[in-house]
A = this chain, B = another copy of it.
């Protein structure tokens, strides 16, 4: 018997998964939560075997919650859950100890398979999620670069449309310095002009 708990801020999704799982003999509905706090509250006095966790929630998101849960309850398997097929998120979830990732547009069969696989200690990726992850890793060795505070600041100003001289005036620096930071940004992102820089920054949610 696998006790399944779900954290998702969409009642429709909770209801949908509940409904899909309710006739499964080897699956027991442990409970549900609509945000990270109420999830953590639940596990103070209860437990579960597999937690289905939405990636995007108000307040603490799935990525963070995943890390906290794994630290406190390392025996619980976490299965990421999202409508998006965003490689970056999948990667972050996995780095934080999730055992798999499944998209909400998966079939009932796929959902069950994911739960069983994860419960048995395996790793599960729904087809599209796997593709998204691979596509992500291919498309961007991206590895969002480590930016210094100054670089982040200047990146934002560049994105706003300010030129080097304008930025220099704005934050009281030499235009040469601003230009150095700008060039470092290009180097760190591995791109060769501002257009590509801003595009990547946007995709990495840095803006």
Chain A stretch 16-62: residues in CB contact (< 8 A) with chain B: 16-20, 56
Evaluate whether A104 and B196 lie within 8 angstroms (CB atoms) in the complex, with A18-B19, A203-B202 already known. Answer: no
- Whether A15 contacts B19 by the Cβ 8 Å rule is yes
Decide if A161 is an interface residue (CB 8 Å cutoff). yes
Decide if A10 is an interface residue (CB 8 Å cutoff). yes
- Whether A193 contacts B161 by the Cβ 8 Å rule is yes
Give bound CA distance, A32 to B126, whole Å.
Answer: 23
Chain A stretch 81-139: residues in CB contact (< 8 A) with chain B: 83, 104-108, 111
Decide if A191 is an interface residue (CB 8 Å cutoff). yes
Decide if A173 is an interface residue (CB 8 Å cutoff). no
Please indicate the chain B residues that have their CB under 8 angstroms from the CB of A107 in the complex.
11
Decide if A12 is an interface residue (CB 8 Å cutoff). yes
Give bound CA distance, A28 to B122, whole Å.
Answer: 41
- Whether B161 contacts A196 by the Cβ 8 Å rule is yes
* Total copies of this chain within the assembly: 2
Decide if A198 is an interface residue (CB 8 Å cutoff). yes
Decide if A199 is an interface residue (CB 8 Å cutoff). yes
Evaluate whether A193 and B163 lie within 8 angstroms (CB atoms) in the complex, with A105-B9, A198-B199, A198-B202 already known. Answer: yes
- Whether A14 contacts B11 by the Cβ 8 Å rule is no
CB distance from A138 to the nearest CB of B (A): 15
Give bound CA distance, A12 to B18, whole Å.
Answer: 9
Residue of B16, B56, B193 near A19 (CB, 8 A) is B16
- Whether A13 contacts B11 by the Cβ 8 Å rule is no
- Whether A207 contacts B196 by the Cβ 8 Å rule is no
Decide if A70 is an interface residue (CB 8 Å cutoff). no
